Amino acid sequence: MTGLNTVGVLALQGDVREHLAALTACGVRAVPVRRPAELDAVDALVLPGGESTTMSRLLETFELLEPLRRRIADGMPTYGSCAGMILLAREVLDGRPDQRQLGGLDVVVRRNAFGRQVDSFETDLELAGLPDGPVHAVFIRAPWVESAGSGVEVLATVPRRPEAGAAEGRIVAVRQGMVLATAFHPELTGDGRVHRLFCDLVRGAARPTRAVG
């Protein structure tokens, strides 16, 4: 055994390969997760970008929805990007009636808030806790946070620039306890700082060794 933290990437749909590569570059053991037994074996989990309603249905099909809810409620470090943020939210606006939520974040998000694929948007963001300047954020059919509970730390908002349009000032990165989420896709830009921030969270929450006797 290497002693490395094991971080899973939900591998039902979405940007799985890109997240696995970014996590591996952080020095953790990165593995795909498709089954409950694979979820049981990881210390933390990434929910990738993709299509949130499809991922919601697949969580039920693969019998992962309730086990994942329990792990998050028990304090497992979890990071969601784009569709992952939607799944982690307490409530979703403009979602499908049958869409299921994981409830790891006390936030209300608006699905596809930035518009359709052709309305993809890029900008530089200052993200709290991230050193070395702004992060270049890529939003693809992305959500934003409409409202956040008192226990939620806002990490980034869209800067007030003419090109931002209706997105100006919207919340696009949050943290609540061991749960981190961004509306944008850091796995697509080659900037590993958001993943390193999450991996530092994982290392700080390493499972304690069970006492014997």
**Enzyme catalytic residues:** 82, 185, 187
Alpha-carbon distance of 167 to 158, in angstroms, equals 6
Measured at the alpha carbon of residue 133, what is the angle toward residues 128 and 134, in degrees to the nearest 5? 70
What are the beta bridge partners of residue 121?
Answer: 139
Q: Extract long-range pairs of 90-98: CB within 8 Å, 24+ residues apart.
A: 90/149, 92/52, 92/143, 93/146, 95/52, 95/53, 96/53, 96/56, 98/53, 98/56, 98/57
CB 144 within 8 A of CB 172: yes
Q: Does residue 120 contact residue 114 with C-beta atoms inside 8 Å?
A: yes
Question: Pairing mode, if any, of strands 144-148 and 153-157?
Answer: unpaired
How do strand 179-182 and strand 171-176 relate by DSSP bridges? antiparallel
Cα three-residue angle 34-68-135, rounded to 5 degrees:
85
